[in-house]
Amino acid sequence: MALIKSISGIRGTIGGKTGDNLTPEDVVKFVAAYAQWIKKQGNKQKYTIVVGRDARISGQMVKMLVNATLSGMGIEVLDIDLASTPSTEMAVTHFNADGGLILTASHNPKEWNALKMLNNKGEFLNGDEGKEILEIAEGGAIEYAPVDKLGTVSSTDYHDEHIESILKLDLVDKAQIAAKNFKVVVDGINSVGALIIPDLLRALGVTEIIEINSEANGNFAHPAEPLPENVKVTCEAVKTNKADLGIVVDPDVDRLAFIDENGLMFGEEYTIVAVADYVLRNKPGNTVSNLSSSRALRDVTAQAGGSYFASAVGEVNVVATMKAENAIIGGEGNGGVIYPELHYGRDALVGIALFLTYLAKKDITVSALKKAYPSYTIIKDKITLSPDLDVDKLLDDIAKVYHKEKINRIDGVKIDFDNGWIHLRKSNTEPIIRIYCEAPTSGEAYKLANRMKENINNSFTN
């Protein structure tokens, strides 16, 4: 069905023809290229790579291929098996490894899987590094290890250590969380979140936990992206059980969404807003999110006396900007929280711990907390263009037309208006422009989007 080769990793559907899907041959090819790239980064006799996976059906098969390939390249493998993406990232530095491979297709359906590649800091590779690995894979000059230098595969885990690291954070208050006697519904979407989130909650002192979709078998009970239309049953479970909140994640636990006590979504965009609000109240500083994230983070940052910065879309870009601007917290509007005091990676677990601490300290309901923030609505749309159209020139023309507004060109075109913003990005795989709009109401957001689509159709494509 599909094989997508990009600087951020290799993603595809299982089965089918080599080169068109994520087949065993494709797995071996790209893992060997990654291993060769790792060995180019230093001058060592021994290299170690951590391998973790989510619970999707193909995970065990892909893991065996990955481990065997790394061994064939002379790499020592630390197999932590079922583990969240942030757990695998942290395990790289914990074990002083040279890199890491995460076997997860994140929110994609169960027929998908992917190879996500980490450097020795447990962070995703940048564009130049990813490009180099793709060139090695296509060049075919892979050098495997002789028999006396094959790597070994060792099994370990980083489950408890991840939780313990969160408990040690200054802004996580287990005692206050325990004193609130929260009742929490957890939707583990039949993956690793079902394993680690309940354990985290118990470690934080939460005793009333209602677990749904809790069997980590990869048969996702609903579409895996934590969006309102996908988690209606979970929302109903919060109301039925009279819980204080619900927690929803994606299969690899780097995206986080909350449900309030009334069974209504808190909003993925507001996950980072609420967590940042808590952090900023205790440690003023700068924040970062990508250009397609809510303006609400900018607002709470300004209220706390800090400076907000926007990055290009993509976790690696957010992290780079956070480091450059010395941000104390950052993330993405899809529910990704990045808290550098723990590590530079989106981490639903630390987001949960900080959010619950904030709720406990404020002694407030989830719905009341949401009302304390500026109300914005984001919509996501797209417009299809003719394949021969020069999209880059089109975006340049749009920027010129709106030159009197505040324009950001680091990733497509973002136009900031007084009452909202529009972000236009070209797709790397389709002849389309993605349109993201935010305004105080959905009506205003759709009005902005429709105005831009009309401009493109009537003016820029002529």
How far apart (Å, rounded) are the C-alpha atoms in residues 168 and 181?
21
Q: Are strands 286-290 and 256-259 parallel, antiparallel or unpaired?
A: unpaired
Length of the chain: 462
Residue with tokens 């993925």: 268
How far apart (Å, rounded) are the C-alpha atoms in residues 170 and 304?
19
The verdict on whether 214 is a catalytic residue reads no
How far apart (Å, rounded) are the C-alpha atoms in residues 347 and 383?
32
DSSP string, 78-146: EEEEE--HHHHHHHHHHTT-SEEEEE--TTS-TTEEEEEEE-TTS-B--HHHHHHHHHHHHH----PPP
- Looking at the DSSP bridge assignments, the partners of residue 10 are 5, 115
The three-point CA angle 308-309-311 to 5° equals 150
Main-chain phi, psi angles of 115, to 5 degrees: -110, 110
How far apart (Å, rounded) are the C-alpha atoms in residues 459 and 462?
6
Dihedral class, residue 129 (left if φ above 0, else alpha if ψ from -120 to 50, else beta): alpha
Residue with tokens 């395990």: 91
Tally of CB atoms within 10 A around 128: 8
How far apart (Å, rounded) are the C-alpha atoms in residues 298 and 289?
9
Tally of CB atoms within 10 A around 258: 28
Catalytic residue, from 106, 165, 214, 292: name it.
106
Residues contacting residue 168 through CB under 8 Å, at least 6 positions apart: none
Torsion angle, CA of 55/56/58/60, rounded to 10 degrees? 0
Per-residue CA distances from 290 to 51, 66, 97, 163, 429 (Å): 28, 32, 29, 27, 20
Give the residue numbers annotated as catalytic, written as ranges: 106
